[in-house]
Copies of this chain bind each other. A is one copy, B any other.
Amino acid sequence: MKKRLAIAFTGPSNSGKTTLIEKIARVLITNHKVAIVKNDPKDKAKFDVEGKDSWKFFNTGAEVVVTSPTRTTYFSHRQKQIDEIIEMVDDFDYLLVEGLKTLPLPRIAIFRNSIDESYFRCSEAIAIDDSIDLSNYNVPSNIDILDLNNTEQIINWIKTNAKAV
């Protein structure tokens, strides 16, 4: 059985989730296999170009896979649940999940400038920078406080707290 660990990231728009996940992935990938799941709740992302063969195939309603010697790209019309995604990617050490707040995963909430205390309910840690004055907030004692700019500290927290999946 592989040891696969998963962690989720949450926070308001523009809090820096993507930047933090990218920094963490760049460090982890030097020694580990990394997978990232990004939620696109409003289905805004477009990945193919109208008129291309793969676009034509996808527009028939078919599931489409494009293979090359260095890559595989899979366009599915289906909404896959996290367990299906884990089975699909299969071979990873760390799974970093952006969004998908309802998943039962340990979660780091990211804030800059202000904290939205409603995130405390679904988070095990907060990552903040010095734009935030903690004396203005009642952070529950069970929530760890991380430095948004200290990638190493956050990775250590992940190694301790991520969930085996």
Contact with B along A59-92 (1 / 0, CB 8 A): 0111111111111111111111000010011011
How many copies make up the complex? 2
List A6-48 residues whose CB lies under 8 Å from chain B. Answer: 18, 21-22, 25-26, 29, 33-45, 47-48
Kindly state the interface size class of chain A when it binds its partner: 35 or more
Complex Cα spacing A52 to B41, Å: 16
CB-based contact B63/A36 at 8 Å: yes
Contacts of A76 in B (CB 8 A): 71-74, 89
Residue of B nearest to A98 (CB): B53
Complex Cα spacing A39 to B68, Å: 6
Q: Is A57 part of the contact surface with B, judged by Cβ < 8 Å?
A: yes
